[in-house]
Structure 1
Amino acid sequence: MKLLLTLLSVLAYISSTIAVKPTVISVTPAQNWEGIDGSWNTFALRVGTPPQVVRVLPSTNSQETWVIAPRACLYEDDKDACAEARGGVFNTNASTTFAQQGLYDLGLEKQLNYSGNAIFGYDTVALGYAGEGGPSLNHQIVGALAKEDYWFGHLGLHPKSTNFTNVTQNVPSFVASLRTEGLIPSVSWGYTAGAPYRFAKVQASLSLGGYDRNRFIPNNITFPMAPDNERDLLVFVNGITAVNNHNIHDSLLPIPIYAFIDSTIAEIWLPVDACRAFESAFGLSYDLATGLYFVSDTLHNALISANPNITFVLSSAPGLQTTQITLPYAAFDLTAKAPYRGLAADQRYFPLRRAANDTQYTLGRTFLQEAYISVDWERQNFSVYQCLWNPNAPQLLVPIASLDGHKPRNKKRPSPLSTAVVVGIVFGVVILLGTIIILSFLLWRSNRRRKQREADVLVKEKNDDVEARDDRVIAKVELDAGDSQIPSQFPMEKGMLEKGKFHNEVFELPGDLPDHPEADGRELSEKEAIRVREHRYNGIEEPPLENSPISPVSPSTGTGLTRNITSATVGISPITPSDGTSSLASLRGGAIRGGPSKKRIKASDVHIIGGSTRRAGSAHGTPGEALEGDTGPALTDTPVDRKRFSFERKL
């Protein structure tokens, strides 16, 4: 349990401090194709708290997030339809995290005569719909506008900062904040507007921190950024040509120009001479009231039949290597809807606009339908590629490395992990803990079984050892309890015949034993006492008896024996004393059998060691009678005090 708690603590610490490796963020486009100046693929954002979903377009020229305010539909009869047509509205009053900074003018696209104002403030901005796992950033600049010049809100891709009060209080852009938080590898992105006329409508592609390699045909041309951060994505347009099905070539750009790539607007702004060349080549008519080129149904059918391709020849500067971006007529076949440019009804139009000066030369979203642009703000360069149309090509995101070695410029705390990452970590922890628990249980059960087997083996070995020791036991042999071989002098009761483990007959002596006759109380000499002690504790080897057909028998209490019995007359073995007193050699004629010298010692010469003695009786148990051959003094009840040996125990 302690191990599991420790592991959980470590995993919690790792999950709270883990630094997610920066990767390319692919912003998923919405399924909507919408707009009043054409059909464009928008992207969803979640703004404020609680999140309000709006659909916007990417802006390569803006560094801020713009949304449509509810007042944009204030005077519309169907406010909901109006809000839906503009990609949804954001109510600043409904957001608890919106920090209003004030009402400011919109300076974006002022060179194209766009104008308006918006309520700006700080709020939370997240990419994509809920559940898509898009990153969310706090304290982002949000402008809520109502002017029709900017029909949709937009997500600014420019990294430059914004300030509201003075030049020292700069607020980073959304892309720069992603880099600061370590969510993308560099301040870079790749974008193409999508093509509703290709296949089943090819959606737009927006990658932050890199590009999608499978969306374009590569080339080796790099464009440096212009020093003006209001118009930094400049390309040199060497020429524009048109070729139709009849192989008729038309030059549509009399003089090469520098043009600004800007996804904020829809049209292509060219010099008036170039516009007149387009009018001549395609039969276009210019509408002075709206400044648009309308296309009649008849002209539209003719252009569809001719199917001209319009090619832009680009380079970074005059005389340098060029690349070509070709657009089919379908890319110019757009429909303008009310209230765009004051229109009251829908009208098919050609997205070409007359520029008053070189600050208006612009390649808008129409151009980006067939072109893919990859921008590296850190290296101050970008690339423009021809789009690759492969409907089955998978997404191949390639990160653009940062100049500072993949490290965020501002080393703040790591951003909170996304929901998908947190769910993945929790799921991984649960799987890991489950695996550990299962392995621990299996290991515990294995150890338990192993210990049980070892215990069984020990028990079996012990039992086998006991059985082996039992096999080595020598069967006891006892006297037959049957009739004595001595006639009538030693009447004995018939005993039992036992069968032991080894089926040996067991012979038993009568159960009643006589009192041991004791010698007189003469104190033994030191040598004799040592011999008696050795006999008592260690036993001594009896000298061999004289050859006799029968063993001597000790008298049995209550048998009525009237004389001493010797081994020469009785064929029984001497009995061993059953008590714990000193065991002398078998008394024979009142003597004690000695050691190897066969010296006989009188009973009167023996003194029982330890404790008091009692007066000896006769062989028949009669008190006061001395044993045969006893010439010494009678035993007394007076204890004899003597010094005991250290090995002797007190009786």
Structure 2
Amino acid sequence: MKSFFFAGSALVLLFQCLLVTIQAGDDSPSPQPIIFQPSRYWDGDGDHWSTFALQIGTPPQVVRLIPSITGNSIFPVENLACYEPADLELSDCPDSRGLLFNPKNSSTYKDDGEVVLPIRPEHWLYPNGEQAVIGFDNITLDYPHYTNISLPNVTIFPYLGDDFWIGSFGINPTINDTDADDFNVALPTFMGVLRQQNLIPSLSWGYHAGACYRNFPFPQYASLILGGYDKSRMNISTNLTLSGQGDEYRPFLLGIESITMEDKVLLESPLTDVGLDNQVTSFWLPSPVCQKFEEAFGLTWNATSEMYFVNDSQHATLLQQNPNVTFILSDGLPGSTARLKITLPYQAFDLQTTPPMADNKTYNYFPLKQAANESQYTLGMTVFQEMYMVADYEHGPISLFQVLYPTNRTADIVTICAKNSTTCGSSGSSSSNALSAGAIAGIVIGAIVVLLLIISAVWYKWFRKPKYMPASSNRDSSGTFGGTEKAELDGSVSSPGNELDGFYVPQKPELDSGYESRSAPTGNGSGSGSHPRDLRSQPGGVDETHEAGGAEVQEMGTATLRRSELPGDAGRYELYGSTPMRSREI
């Protein structure tokens, strides 16, 4: 009965292990963050901004865009944008705008009509009625053959205007670019489709705009991690967490406590409800603050172009001095003491106009705009040259860091896990305890083999009867069978098999499968799970009839059988020189 108990316990344990293994294998592993490689081009204002390549349509058309932290759709520049009268003289117009997209050349593009930008004026600082079309098409990240990350049926807004010289792709999953009376349903967004396709571990990203003026020991292009962030790009000793009190179209609001240029104070009193928006280049600040900048940098306001120009001599002086501008940022909450210092060199403000800006002429300009009201206070793309931003929409926090420019190309990618995720890694790449289908199949097959061996051993012990049943044997006072010795096997290694009732059980041969089974509980005539064999049918064994009387010995081959000296005692095989074995108690 004990054998049945142990066998049953082993079966229960085996099935429990199989259940846990299969459940673990059923958990889909969490995807790794997408390290979106930059295009290695500098586009836009004087070739100043680092872009990312996307392929749109079928066959794919490559465009270079910037990520928009306040948008969620794809905004490529339409092919007709470089054929407007003002742009006809620009031979490099397509390239300087990050290449163009022609919806008519895509067999998978689905046109859904025309719209006038902005769809909602609150979302834009340039509400000038630019024309755009809305449609849906397939996109693929990066250049051809670099990735296989493709998204079907993403919302596309090809546009014609010049206010946004290069296009963008929105990475904010909470803002609806199409939230207007003409659209009654939510449309598929870039980040939303990535998450639905299980291509990123969470709705999150880490972004840094790069800086063309930092090119040693190698060019510092933009960094974009979808589903995580690059720890090597941030100064983790200080950071600022935003409270998320923004509205739908200005989701990232913060405060500016002070602005200084070396020892000059440029901001007299703190500002609150200042938005972050990298889709615009400039700082949009109150007029008194802009006047402080004019005095500190020798800027000239051009009312026609609504831009601050820097003449050539002043430009040379500023490049030589390269003064630093320091912003002390806050979360904008009353009584909060959280602060973050962001320092930008003058090189971060050194931009050039791109035709057709400023009458199709090239000027040095300073990215500063006079805000019409408090709703226009904005820190644009310029600040992202020295700031790293992490947005985690799964858990809420938005964090800002002073950027670090690494001296090597080794990234330190940290995964941001989705809520309630059980298979998401914490660093470098997502980790999972889930097993592959092949591993599960191997474990199941091995378990079945073990199960069959256990069942065979139990059946053999309780239901199998030996073929040869000798006469009962007697033991002398020492516990050994009288006059019985084991047979000596020539040149072979004998197994310490059980010797009961006058027959010998050899060692179980090894299985060819490579698996080694554990010995089952043994009983009468059982070895390591093998069947008892009658030595009379063994090669080299003896076939002899026991007789009472003298101990006549017959030898055949290498096995020797001595008859019992006591009448009625059965002969048994014994190895010479071995210790006589006591009979097993059952």
Q: TM-score band, normalised by the shorter chain?
A: 0.5 to 0.7
Aligned to 2:351: 334
How far did 1:81 drift? 3.3
Equivalences for residues 482-521 of structure 1 within 5 A: none
TM-score between both structures, scaled by the size of structure 2 = 0.64
Equivalences for residues 492-641 of structure 1 within 5 A: none
Aligned to 1:604: none
1:211 and 2:229 matched: yes
Contact 1:267 1:366 in 2 (8 A): yes
How far did 1:406 drift? 6.4
- Secondary structure at the aligned position of 1:312 is classed as strand
How far did 1:64 drift? 0.8
1:149 and 2:163 matched: yes
Aligned to 1:99: 110
Aligned to 2:100: 89
The separation in 2 between residues aligned to 1:286 and 1:80, in whole angstroms, is 29
Larger Rg: 1
The separation in 1 between residues aligned to 2:556 and 2:258, in whole angstroms, is 114
Q: Counterpart of 1:23 in structure 2: which amino acid?
A: Q
Aligned to 2:62: 53
Q: 1:411-454: per-residue Cα shift (whole Å, max 9, x none)?
A: xxxxxxxxxxxxxx99x99xx9xxxxxxxxxx9899xxxxxxxx
1:366 to 382, 385, 389: 382
- Secondary structure at the aligned position of 1:30 is classed as coil
How far did 1:339 drift? 1.1
CA 1:105–1:226 in 2, change beyond 3 Å: closer, same or farther? farther
Contact 1:375 1:381 in 2 (8 A): yes
Contact 1:157 1:174 in 2 (8 A): yes
1:286 to 279, 301, 316: 301
CA 1:407–1:99 in 2, change beyond 3 Å: closer, same or farther? farther
Q: 1:311-354: per-residue Cα shift (whole Å, max 9, x none)?
A: 111111244221111101111111112112x3322111111111
Aligned to 2:49: 40
Q: Counterpart of 1:333 in structure 2: which amino acid?
A: D
How far did 1:111 drift? 3.4
CA 1:227–1:360 in 2, change beyond 3 Å: closer, same or farther? closer
Contact 2:240 2:401 in 1 (8 A): no
1:325 and 2:336 matched: no
Structure 1 gaps of 5+ residues are: 1-16, 244-248, 409-424, 433-442, 447-460, 471-651
Equivalences for residues 161-200 of structure 1 within 5 A: 161=176, 162=178, 168-198=184-214, 199=216, 200=218
1:401 to 413, 417, 421: 417
Q: Counterpart of 1:204 in structure 2: which amino acid?
A: A
Q: 1:490-538: per-residue Cα shift (whole Å, max 9, x none)?
A: xxxxxxxxxxxxxxxxxxxxxxxxxxxxxxxxxxxxxxxxxxxxxxxxx
Q: Counterpart of 2:219 in structure 1: which amino acid?
A: K
- Secondary structure at the aligned position of 1:68 is classed as coil
Contact 2:45 2:352 in 1 (8 A): yes
How far did 1:168 drift? 4.7
Q: Counterpart of 2:308 in structure 1: which amino acid?
A: Y
How far did 1:85 drift? 2.0
1:240 and 2:240 matched: no
- Secondary structure at the aligned position of 1:144 is classed as coil
Aligned to 1:224: 243
The separation in 1 between residues aligned to 2:90 and 2:359, in whole angstroms, is 20
The separation in 2 between residues aligned to 1:345 and 1:329, in whole angstroms, is 22
Q: Counterpart of 1:332 in structure 2: which amino acid?
A: F
The separation in 2 between residues aligned to 1:166 and 1:305, in whole angstroms, is 53
Contact 2:30 2:423 in 1 (8 A): no
Contact 1:22 1:182 in 2 (8 A): yes
Q: Counterpart of 1:190 in structure 2: which amino acid?
A: G
Q: Counterpart of 2:414 in structure 1: which amino acid?
A: V
Q: Counterpart of 2:190 in structure 1: which amino acid?
A: F
The separation in 1 between residues aligned to 2:412 and 2:42, in whole angstroms, is 24
Q: Counterpart of 2:94 in structure 1: which amino acid?
A: A
Q: Counterpart of 1:50 in structure 2: which amino acid?
A: P
How far did 1:365 drift? 0.9
Q: Counterpart of 1:150 in structure 2: which amino acid?
A: F
Q: Counterpart of 1:98 in structure 2: which amino acid?
A: Y
Aligned to 2:329: 314
The separation in 1 between residues aligned to 2:412 and 2:320, in whole angstroms, is 36
The separation in 1 between residues aligned to 2:165 and 2:115, in whole angstroms, is 18
Q: 1:70-121: per-residue Cα shift (whole Å, max 9, x none)?
A: 1112245578732222111111112121111110122175334454121111
Q: Give the stretch that moved more between structures: 105-114 or 287-296.
A: 105-114
Larger relative contact order (CA 8 Å, sep ≥ 6): 2
Contact 1:254 1:273 in 2 (8 A): no
- Secondary structure at the aligned position of 1:145 is classed as coil
1:383 and 2:399 matched: yes
Structure 2 gaps of 5+ residues are: 1-25, 425-435, 443-510, 515-537, 543-554, 558-586
CA 1:275–1:80 in 2, change beyond 3 Å: closer, same or farther? closer
Q: Give the stretch that moved more between structures: 263-272 or 113-122.
A: 113-122
Aligned to 2:149: 135
The separation in 1 between residues aligned to 2:241 and 2:205, in whole angstroms, is 15
The separation in 2 between residues aligned to 1:296 and 1:104, in whole angstroms, is 40
Q: How many residues align?
A: 421
Q: Counterpart of 2:249 in structure 1: which amino acid?
A: E
% identity of equivalent residues: 35
How far did 1:298 drift? 1.3
The separation in 1 between residues aligned to 2:395 and 2:541, in whole angstroms, is 87
Aligned to 1:485: none
1:254 to 265, 268, 272: 268
Aligned to 1:354: 370
Aligned to 2:125: 111
The separation in 1 between residues aligned to 2:149 and 2:290, in whole angstroms, is 43
CA 1:101–1:167 in 2, change beyond 3 Å: closer, same or farther? closer
Q: Counterpart of 2:110 in structure 1: which amino acid?
A: A
How far did 1:205 drift? 0.6
Aligned to 2:31: 22
CA 1:291–1:407 in 2, change beyond 3 Å: closer, same or farther? farther
Q: Counterpart of 1:209 in structure 2: which amino acid?
A: G
